[in-house]
Amino acid sequence: MLTGVLVAVDSAAFQFDKLYSYNVPEQFTDTVKEGSRVLVPFGNSKRMGIVLGSCEPDDSYKSLIDVERGEPVINSEMIDLIKYLKETTFCTYYDAVRAVLPKNIRLVPDGGFEKIVQESEAHLETVFETVDGFDEAALTKRQREVYEALIAPMTYSELNSITSVSRQTLSKMEESGAVRRSVRLKVSDAGYEPTVKEEALVLTDAQQEAYIKIKELTFSDSTPNTTLFYGVTSSGKTAVYFKLIEDMVETSRGVIMLVPEIALATQMIGRLKNRFGSRVGIIHSALSDTERTIQWKRISEGEYDVVIGTRSAVFAPLPDIGLIIIDEEQEETYNSDQAPRFRAVSVAMKRAYTHSAGLVLGSATPSVESYYKAVEGAYNLVRLEERFNDMPLPEVTVSDMREELIEGNTACIGKELYEKIEERLRSGRQCILLMNRRGYRTVSICRQCGKVIMCDSCSMPMVWHKDDGTHRCHYCSRVIKEVTKCPDCGGELRHTGIGTQRVEEELQLLFPEARILRIDVDSMSRKGSLQKALKDFEDGKYDIMIGTQMIAKGLDFPNVTLAGVLSVDSMLLMPSYRAYEKTFDMLTQVVGRSGRGSSAGEAVIQTIDPQNSIIKLAAGQDYKSFYDSEIILRKAHLYPPFCSVCSVVFVSQKENEARSSAHRFEHKLAEVFARNPKVPVRIMNPAPLRVVLVKGSFRWRIMIKSRGDRAFRDCLSACLTEYKQENPSDRTRIYVDINNESDI
């Protein structure tokens, strides 16, 4: 029974964000619990809130207005996670609530789930399940096959796709009492139905060895519960994951598996469903609010054994987690770029600890930080260095594009790549080509006055999209139509730079017969289109796939024997301490897309810097040498893992305001850290972000190197609060980004 509660209130600004105390009116003392959603008076308004703790009642407190009925939607683990996110990522309590709870559940005060989903026919489906205790001897041979396939409730079409059962057979079984039908909430994941019933998993000797080792280390009391699973591309890490998942499901504990991209989630969901039937839940950003709510509800009620998804799936409310797998753990997509700015790996670690679960971080190119932790013994390290079926590494050609330029060839497909594509087309094989910029031409310049067509709201050139004749800003999505002349002097425009659309057009000219699939945000904007495109490519309906980063990771097409990177140079020149790591990762990944079936693969990397050591190491898939050289640089220049880097970012519509706030804040930092001499920091001078203007806002930042520990966070938190109190009229928005990838 609670008589006073501590409430996190929706829409509080950071400096006012704390737990507010309220009295509980008598009629609610039995209903309100920690985790309950409540309606509270706040200033002159009413706000949603969540009870995160209790206190003694006091006459000076206001009283709750309303309380949700029934069990609270969030349990003690989630309450703990909310507090953890607030403390480690400098968000407000409600930012954290947003990460943990789906929108619908957050908003509805009386908690009626049925109300939320509004169980219309559209959200229901009929499923069949076996009846416990039915005497199987009474079944015919055919019926027995169906009966045995029905390992979990399935719709008719799911069951039919596995067993080809007819409706008649199924109704006979229903009449005899072997199966029964029931109605459940539908998840619209069309295309994810199990397609084939997979054979039992057979691991190669090397995979088996890795699997045993991961299991022993991750679940032993004497070793860390986090294991870095380093497996070269095409070593078959997925089979090892599946074996681990299978074991966990047998012991009735839940599994969360994270993958970096929706494209990859799409491929993986199908495979998991083939193996684990309908007890696989999905969470990713392409779900609608209702779908997300249904998934969340089902997961929290223990209806799923396995949840797969992108970053936000790390919050999946499984009641008992035994294992969390993060595939390609180094991916930036695991870092949230809006509040709460969390890292999925850190959250997974926290959750694994709470549930006494194992955490497996898989990668062909681990982040330097993770590999360092493994070397230092904070993680276990398990290696899988043999490619599946002893497939040789793809043979990599580094193509010198300078020579082509000298010869006057300005095309995006160089000679060597051209010949190799032609070979594939002749032999009925497929190619994957990576071009990391979308659009047709990336810069439009006036021939007379040299003006570049820029976005009004962002300090970036607009990208020309030839198909609809628009210029588009890739930062704020602004579209302007039919700009054919210079807006200043009326001069002719010259288009330069290359995007995916231009490459697609060039390929079509070079290879008129080829069937080309372009995959980027523009071509895949319709719901389900990416899923269909990947399936069509797999089914051999295309010869060449050209795409952005979306296609670089993890995709597995056995008939692809050539991978090409059209230009690697802009990545190497990125102004970030992670530039080499990212380039190495991307090249290794793309090269690894080739030769995954029974034929050896090849890859071509086009560059104007063919002697570059990162390119050479990636071509040889030599992670160890890359790590050895990179770790020396990181140490010499003091970058992670030897320190933690965070950014304080200042956002304002007026550049001078962003700049002066940053400078004022710098003084505050100096003052607070002077008071705390035992907290070592290096504070960089305030500077504009590389792209200073985005969506009409100017961005400045201060980078801070520190130990990234509790003491540092407490100091920084004090800076933020004191700064806001001392500068109440400063309207610059300030946020902290612990991921330090805000320079986009």
List contacts with Zn ion (CB under 5 A). 446, 448-449, 451, 455, 457-458, 473, 475-476, 478, 486, 488-489, 491
Q: Determine contact, residues 666/686, Cβ cutoff 8 Å.
A: yes
* H-type alpha helices, 474-599: 500-510, 529-538, 569-572, 579-592
Nearer to Zn ion, 364 or 458 (CB): 458
Alpha-carbon distances of 567 from 163, 411, 579, 700, rounded to whole Å: 47, 12, 15, 30
Nearer to Zn ion, 461 or 564 (CB): 461
Alpha-carbon distances of 491 from 344, 450, 456, 487, 661, rounded to whole Å: 50, 9, 20, 8, 40
* Cis, bond preceding 340 (omega within 30 deg of 0): yes
Helix, strand, coil abundance in the chain, percent, nearest 5: 35, 25, 40
Nearest distance from C-beta of residue 742 to Zn ion, angstroms: 17
Nearest distance from C-beta of residue 652 to Zn ion, angstroms: 17
Nearer to Zn ion, 194 or 461 (CB): 461
Nearer to Zn ion, 31 or 457 (CB): 457
> What is the C-alpha separation between 634 and 518, in angstroms, rounded?
37
Tokens of 707: 């130990």
Nearest distance from C-beta of residue 480 to Zn ion, angstroms: 10
Amino acid letter for position 293: T
**Biggest distance spanned by C-alpha atoms of the chain:** 88
Nearer to Zn ion, 448 or 653 (CB): 448
Nearer to Zn ion, 197 or 447 (CB): 447
Nearest distance from C-beta of residue 446 to Zn ion, angstroms: 3
Print burial letters for 10-19: b (CB count within 10 Å at least 16), e (below 16).
Answer: bebebeebeb
| HSE-CB for 709 with a 13 A CA cutoff | 8
What phi and psi, each to the nearest 5 degrees, are found at residue 370? -65, -40
Nearest distance from C-beta of residue 462 to Zn ion, angstroms: 8
Nearer to Zn ion, 123 or 695 (CB): 695
Q: Is 183 helix (H, G, I), strand (E, B) or coil?
A: strand
> What is the C-alpha separation between 190 and 358, in angstroms, rounded?
32
> What is the C-alpha separation between 191 and 50, in angstroms, rounded?
38
Q: Is 487 helix (H, G, I), strand (E, B) or coil?
A: coil
Nearer to Zn ion, 61 or 475 (CB): 475
Strand positions, DSSP E, 580-739: 602-607, 644-652, 681-683, 687-694, 697-706, 733-737
Nearer to Zn ion, 39 or 476 (CB): 476
Tokens of 226: 């986090």
Nearer to Zn ion, 15 or 457 (CB): 457
> What is the C-alpha separation between 521 and 526, in angstroms, rounded?
9
H/E segment holding residue 212? helix 205-218
> What is the C-alpha separation between 217 and 323, in angstroms, rounded?
13
> What is the C-alpha separation between 714 and 400, in angstroms, rounded?
51
Beta-carbon count within 10 A of 78 CB: 21
Sign of the torsion angle spanned by Cα atoms 694, 699, 702, 708: negative
Alpha-carbon distances of 346 from 350, 645, 738, rounded to whole Å: 6, 15, 11
Nearer to Zn ion, 411 or 476 (CB): 476
Nearer to Zn ion, 439 or 641 (CB): 439
Nearest distance from C-beta of residue 495 to Zn ion, angstroms: 14
> What is the C-alpha separation between 383 and 77, in angstroms, rounded?
33
Q: Determine contact, residues 315/100, Cβ cutoff 8 Å.
A: yes
Nearest distance from C-beta of residue 152 to Zn ion, angstroms: 48
Nearest distance from C-beta of residue 689 to Zn ion, angstroms: 14
Order of strands across the sheet with 358-363? 280-283, 306-309, 254-258, 321-326, 358-363, 226-231, 380-384
Tokens of 515: 């069937």
Nearer to Zn ion, 494 or 682 (CB): 494
Nearer to Zn ion, 489 or 670 (CB): 489
